[in-house]
Amino acid sequence: MASRFLAALSPAHISSVPTVAEHQEFSPTNALRVLPVIPIAKNLLTATLLERGLSPTALNNYLKSPWEYVYRNVLRVPQMKTPELQFGTALHRVLEKLVRQNAFDMNAAIKHLSEALNQQALSEEEYARLHERGLAALAAYTPHVASQAGEGSRTEVKLEAMLTTGLLEFHELTLTGTLDRIDYENGMIVRVIDYKTGKPKTRGQIEGTTKDSHGDYKRQLTFYALLLSLQSDTAMHCRTGVISFVEPDSRGVVREEVFTVSDADIAVLTAEIIRVTKEIVSGHALTLPCDEEVCHYCDLVEKLHTR
């Protein structure tokens, strides 16, 4: 794959050369053949879980594939941030500034968008395309967020709490999460808002009841409800979560789906978190097969041995 910055270079500085030999030498098969076998101990997973806890993203990675969790959340293998992800980061920063300043002016939104995109690693072509896309999104979403958020709203709220697991080998787990926005009324949190970019999803896709979804979005809201329920301040015990799509649908309408998280939802999630914790600290996660259809690291897993 060509570098995304290649298009920004002058043709005068680019020359074509045959690369057949290099492709063969550095193919995944040949590259992995010379790698040493890498040992990994279950104690590393336990120590990482003890130090960093478990976030909604880490949990979703594990449920997708334990090896996604190992490589992304334990070993933290560097990831190339796609333009799509960079776009999402930029819009989150714009909304964070608008809500924090409680000033929902379109001129300010445009200024924040340019600043946020300039902080990303984008080519000129990608910048222009995503800037136009961001303007279209903010033109619809800025008035919407102005009608919902206010002086009582807080943004990018980092929380953690301790969950009792009942496991002898790991009796307490730290849960962590960063909430995009929380809205207060009369001193109490009334809703948790999670921003999403991209094409709006149906309620079934959010809940995981369709063939093309695993329910990651709904699980994330439930995780936040659990995290808030474990706070000592009862004013933070909120069960209402909103998936808010920043980009409007084909009719230009901003779409949101509101969920009330039930006791049963939290009980199911808690049981799943405890199961995952047990698999991690026991080392069972390292014995599970890697599915190439859902995990990006199966070639590396083949070079791994555990103890």
At residue 284, the pLDDT reads 95
Question: Can you say how many angstroms the Cα of residue 82 is from the centroid of all Cα atoms in its chain?
Answer: 13
Rounded Cα–Cα distance for residues 130 and 122 (Å):
9
Percent of the chain at pLDDT > 90 equals 79
| 83-136 pLDDT per residue, tens | 999 999 999 999 999 999 999 999 999 999 999 999 999 999 999 999 999 999
At residue 8, the pLDDT reads 67
Evaluate whether 176 touches 54 at the Cβ level (below 8 Å).
Answer: yes
40 membership: H or E segment, kind and range? strand 38-40
Residues 6+ apart with CB under 8 A from 255: 200, 245, 248, 249
Evaluate whether 296 touches 68 at the Cβ level (below 8 Å).
Answer: yes
Q: Percent helix, strand, coil in the chain (nearest 5)?
A: 50, 15, 35
Q: Is 75 helix (H, G, I), strand (E, B) or coil?
A: coil
Residues 6+ apart with CB under 8 A from 22: none
- Prediction pTM value: 0.88
Q: Which residue(s) pair with 154 in the sheet?
A: 182
Rounded Cα–Cα distance for residues 241 and 250 (Å):
24
Phi-psi region of 190 (alpha: psi -120 to 50; beta: other; left: phi over 0): alpha
At residue 307, the pLDDT reads 47
User: What amino acid occupies position 68?
Assistant: E
Lowest mean pLDDT among 28-42, 163-177, 269-283: 28-42
Rounded Cα–Cα distance for residues 291 and 60 (Å):
15
At residue 4, the pLDDT reads 60
Parse the chain into domains and list their residue ranges. Answer: 154-282
Angle, CA of 243, 247 and 249, to the nearest 5°: 95
In this predicted structure, the answer to whether residue 3 has a pLDDT above a threshold of 70 is no
In this predicted structure, the answer to whether residue 196 has a pLDDT above a threshold of 70 is yes
At residue 246, the pLDDT reads 98
At residue 29, the pLDDT reads 55
Residue 71: Cβ within 10 Å count: 21
| Residue given tokens 């190992």 in the structure block | 70
From the number of C-beta atoms within 10 Å of its C-beta (0-12, 13-18, 19+), residue 146 rates as middle
Fold adopted by 154-282: Lambda Exonuclease; Chain A (3.90.320)
| 57-78 pLDDT per residue, tens | 999 999 999 999 999 999 999 8
At residue 18, the pLDDT reads 81
Query: Whose CA is closest to 251, among 210, 199, 193?
Result: 199
